[in-house]
Amino acid sequence: MAEKEESRKKDQANAKRDYLERHTANDDGEMLTTNQGVKVNDDHNSLKAGERGPTLLEDFHMREKITHFDHERIPERIVHARGSAAHGYFELKESMSEYTSAHFLQTPGTRTPVFVRFSTVAGSRGSTDLARDVRGFATKFYTEEGVYDLVGNNMPVFFIQDAMKFPDLIHAVKPEPDSEMPQAASAHDTFWDFVSLTPETLHNVFWAMSDRGIPRSYRMMEGFGIHTFRLVNKEGKSVFVKFHWKPVLGVHSVVWDEAQKISGMDPDFHRRDLWEAIENGNYPQYDFGVQIVPEEDEHKFNFDLLDPTKLLPEELVPVKIIGRMTLNRNPDNFFAETEQVAFHPGHVVPGIDFTNDPLLQGRLFSYTDTQLIRLGGPNFHEIPINRSVSPIHNNQRDGYMRQTINRGKSSYNPNTTEGGYPLQAKASEGGFVSHRERIDAHKVRARSESFIDHFSQPAMFYHSQSQPEKNHIISALRFELGMVKDEAIRKRVVSLLYMIDQSLADKVAMGLGLTAEAPDKITNHNVPADADPNDYQSPKKNPDVESSQALSMANTRKDTIETRMIAVLAADGVDDDSLMKMKKALEEEGAMVKIVAPRVGKIKTAAGNELMADKSLLNAASVLFDAVYIPAGIKSMMALKEEHKAIHFLDEAYTHCKAIAADGDGVDLWRESAAGKKEAMADKDEKTAVLHGVLLNQKPSEFIKAIAQHRFWDREKVPA
């Protein structure tokens, strides 16, 4: 019996080994194939009508690859799973009738309802809001002519040029499949391996490694349409257009150490910030702008307008502000609205059309395909949050979750049984007519030579940054690459950085224990199997502009403290006049003032009044606030002096370069902190201290000016 059992186990083990040998993918020498076993010649470029032409529907390999990718997860989104949203309206300020026939862009004063969803890209629904990541910025316009979706990000470029590579990009940045780690993070081998072999990713990598990758708030974050689209007017004349959202409060971020700590204190930080701002009547607002390029100027730049890894510098084509969006209502139900909303770049209205951007062309297929599995079938347009406000009449019927009850016997066109209805609409009646673009090209899997330069614009972006922003990029790259285990990957990335800026590469390499060296040859790995790699070398051209002010957050708006969260450290015995005078001044400027006390509940002021503490040192930290104020009051100061968390609160706020103010006895508490002692040793006079963001016994107006500056970066240690 024992021998039989041993023999049975041996047979099972052999069978399992044979099975694994037959079914394990990526063995040495295997050729890439489709799911039908057809060997793939080019896994990098979609099939197009000419190198710069539209992607063809017959591209079975791209459709299979993206279809499989779109259906990999249920029910949450594969990307942009972690999101927050709000209702509002868009109001047109300047007519665009010269450029487009879109009805909602014709008459100044026209208000169009909108629903906007903000999101992270890489993490799951349960991940933190403060991951270093690209942020989604998707807007659904409920226009009189139908739904229009502007599906963008908080960065104007994307990692890849062709939709064929999207599954590869996301597979690389998602948790590694063997360990399912790390969550919502790009700091691991597979992502940087992909980057090191795909130079086209570098521009977006620089944006993600900059402070744009860790925004202060969705309300202080830009949005971009990414792609170049077309506007078409009533005469059929077309222009190229890029779309921009610019936050009225300015563009601001947190620092990396702060982001990590916020993730621990409040992983819903951005979600809560958006919700509470709207509930408090502090409605987020964004100016809507366009960059218009006439068709005859399509090829006047040193980059290709159809390349989604490139931006159009505002120095070449200024952003024209044409309207403003206001978000004024939170969703009634997160699942029904925020989770079930379905965006699609292909949802356009007459007067807005597509270009042959190969990433956009793939997205036009991918988004509908994704909704079919995520929302259970083809009727996702009937979910209330997705419904058009204009009437729907067509011959589409049945399917999962159908809600419309169609009357009559005909569901085809043409027909006589229903008098021919619904009828086709003429262009003069608002019917959508695609732009008449002449196409005369061979079917090829290739990319235009105008897409090959992957270094000029990352260099432009880096050189546009202020010195503190450059320091943050260096630190971010050191952190990310420091988490990469394979030294060969780190070396390849550093060699690519060398092509962008030698000083940058040297500093990153120093932090990694490497030496920055120029690569022998920069080759684009996204080439067909039988192509000559030398034909795909990635040169560095002269950029159209060396640097752009619009790309640095140092140049954003810094004259308002509206909705900024200010912590007031107070305990029993706090001076009434000191606290209330500052609180009143801050709130009159639109700031949100929160009293942080040693414990939850009420505190008693020096005059015997009772105040309710908004937070306690047990559940609050400086990372949740934009600035800190310490009012006068000897008893309050003495009580806080015994709280090590109060001292840490001040030191941490100082480390993160925030404005700090103290009055009277509160100055003594400040001087108990390590930061306060450091400042005292520096022997700064009052004027210098104000410029440095630490205000002792100053007027409230000076503190307000300091908060508006957002951060005082001169406190930071410069990377070696």
Q: Over 555-620, what HEC string results?
A: HCCCCCCCCCEEEEECCCCCCHHHHHHHHHHHHHCCCEEEEEECCCCEEECCCCCEEECCEECCCC
* Cβ-Cβ contacts under 8 Å for 534 (sequence gap 6 or more): 523
Contact call for residues 650 and 676 (beta carbons, < 8 A): yes
Q: What mean pLDDT is reported for the chain?
A: 91
Give CA–CA dist 656/253, Å, rounded: 11
Banded pLDDT at 585 (limits 50, 70, 90): very high
Query: One-letter amino acid identity for 200?
Result: E
Domain-ending residue, one of 532, 554, 576: 554
Q: Percentages helix, strand, coil for the chain, rounded to the nearest 5?
A: 35, 15, 45
Percent of the chain at pLDDT > 70 equals 93
Q: Which two tokens stand for residue 718?
A: 């410069």
- pLDDT at position 421, please? 86
Residue 3: inside a domain, yes or no? no
Q: Report the pLDDT value the prediction gives residue 4, as an integer from 0 to 100.
A: 62
For residues 585 and 514, membership in a common domain is answered with no
Q: Is the pLDDT of residue 180 over 90?
A: yes
Report whether pLDDT(23) > 60.
Answer: no
Answer yes or no: is pLDDT of 1 > 60: no
Mean pLDDT, rounded, for 599-616: 95
- For residues 466 and 584, membership in a common domain is answered with no
> What average pLDDT does range 114-138 have in this prediction?
97
243 and 174 within one domain: yes
**Which distant-in-sequence residues (6+ apart) come within 8 Å of 556 by Cβ?**
250, 251, 252
Give yes or no for a contact between 567 and 625, defined as CB atoms under 8 angstroms apart. Answer: yes
Residue 270 sits in the same domain as residue 302: yes
Per DSSP, the residues of 288-301 read EEEEEEEGGGTT-S
Cα→Cα distances 105→99, 109, 144, 285, 289, Å: 10, 10, 11, 18, 12
Q: What is the pLDDT of residue 413?
A: 84
Helix (H, G, I), strand (E, B) or coil at 285: strand
Which pLDDT tens digit goes with each residue over 45-70?
A: 898 999 999 999 888 788 878 877 88
What confidence tens digit (pLDDT) does each residue in 449-469 have? 899 899 999 999 999 999 999
What is the distance between the alpha carbons of residues 569 and 571, in angstroms, rounded to a whole number?
Answer: 7
Alpha-carbon distance of 553 to 468, in angstroms, equals 10
Q: Which of 520, 554, 588 is the last residue of a domain?
A: 554
Reported confidence tier of residue 84, pLDDT bands at 50, 70, 90: very high
The mean-pLDDT minimum among 161-175, 500-514, 641-655, 675-689 falls in: 675-689
- C-alpha closest to that of 256 among 209, 192, 221, 217: 209
CA distances from 698 to 110, 196, 559 (A): 46, 51, 19
Alpha helix positions (H), 47-201 = 60-70, 166-173, 189-197
- Distance between CA atoms of residues 621 and 625, nearest Å: 8
**Integer angstrom CA distances of residue 219 from 86, 167, 645:** 11, 30, 30
Residue 528 maps to which CATH number? Answer: 1.20.1370.20
pLDDT at 522: 67
Distances (CA, A) of 478 to 9, 126, 183, 317: 50, 27, 19, 34
Residue in the block written with tokens 């390590």: 674
* pLDDT tens readout for residues 135-171: 999 999 999 999 999 999 999 999 999 999 999 999 9
Is residue 650 included in any domain, yes or no?
yes
Catalytic residue, from 44, 61, 87, 153: name it: 153
Domain boundary among 527, 554, 581: 554
CA separation (Å) from 475 to 422, 646, 718, 719?
A: 60, 28, 9, 7
Give the number of domains in the chain.
3
Residues 243 and 366 in one domain: yes
Q: Is the pLDDT of residue 12 over 90?
A: no
pLDDT, average across residues 68-91: 87
Least confident window among 26-40, 378-392, 486-500: 26-40
* Bigger pLDDT: 488 vs 60: 488
Residues 507 and 591 in one domain: no
Catalytic-role residue among 44, 80, 244, 472: 80
Domain contains 430: no
Per-residue confidence band for 231, with pLDDT thresholds at 50, 70 and 90: very high
Is 153 tagged catalytic?
yes
CATH number, domain with residue 711: 3.40.50.880
Same domain, 578 and 529: no
What would the pLDDT profile of 409-431 be if each residue is shown by its tens digit?
888 888 888 888 888 888 888 88
Cα distance between residue 646 and residue 599, in whole Å: 12
Would 399 be classed as within a structural domain?
Answer: no
- Do 220 and 296 belong together in one domain? yes
* Res 41: pLDDT: 81
Point out which residues pair with 540 in neighbouring strands: none
* Residue 164 belongs to domain with CATH number: 2.40.180.10
Q: Let me know if residue 679 belongs to a domain.
A: yes
Residue 32 lies in a domain: no
Does 404 reside within a domain?
no
In this structure, the answer to whether residues 218 and 300 fall within a common structural domain is yes
Q: In terms of residue numbers, what domain contains 477?
A: 455-554
What pLDDT shows up at residue 252? 98
pLDDT at 275: 98
Residues 6+ apart with CB under 8 A from 517: 494, 495, 498
Same domain, 528 and 594: no
**Percent above pLDDT 90 for the chain:** 73
Report the C-alpha gap between 459 and 195 in whole angstroms.
16
Task: Judge whether 299 counts as a catalytic residue.
Answer: no
**One domain, residues 373 and 487:** no
**Chain segment 615-644, per-residue pLDDT in tens:** 999 999 999 999 999 999 999 999 999 999
Say if residue 267 is preceded by a cis peptide, omega within 30 of 0.
no
Same domain, 571 and 545: no
Helix (H) or strand (E) run with residue 329 in it: strand 320-329
Distance CA 223, CA 117 (A): 11
Answer yes or no: is 39 within a domain.
no
